[in-house]
Amino acid sequence: MFAPRCPSREVFAELVDKWSMLILMTLSSCGPQRFSELQRAVGGVSRKMLTQSLRNLERSGLVRRTVFPETPPRVVYDLLPLGRELAELVEPLGRWTERRAEQMMAAREEFDAAHAEG
């Protein structure tokens, strides 16, 4: 993963993306979701970015896209076993960030103040 041309670097670079991670966490905690539900859950994501991230996750075998032949067709996204594995590793990262966000914001203010003086 530390070598630029290794497949694991390529895969890592695509998975390590805020939208993909927020999508995985949403599917993991809320179960199967429609596109519009995901868009509501992952605040601030554009249609385009959500489409692209879901397609990447589907392409790598992490998420399954199922079309139910209704009128209009219902499209549902859910986690495949590989996606579930990854979601379980991403969740602690999310919880940690929420727990430490305030501390990191304070560190930033301090850093910015010190560098403004300098």
**Using CB under 8 A as the criterion, which residues of the chain lie in contact with its own copies when the complex forms?**
1-4, 6-9, 11-13, 15-18, 21-22, 26, 41-44, 58-62, 82, 85-86, 89-90, 92-94, 96-98, 100-108, 110-112
In the complex with its own copies, the residue whose CB is nearer, 12 or 32, is 12
Dihedral over Cα of 107, 108, 113, 118: its sign: positive
Least distance (Å) between residue 70 CB and its own copies: 21
- Output the six-digit token pair for 80: 């495949």
Contact 26, 42 (CB under 8 A): yes
Rounded Cα–Cα distance for residues 34 and 112 (Å): 42
In the complex with its own copies, the residue whose CB is nearer, 59 or 74, is 59
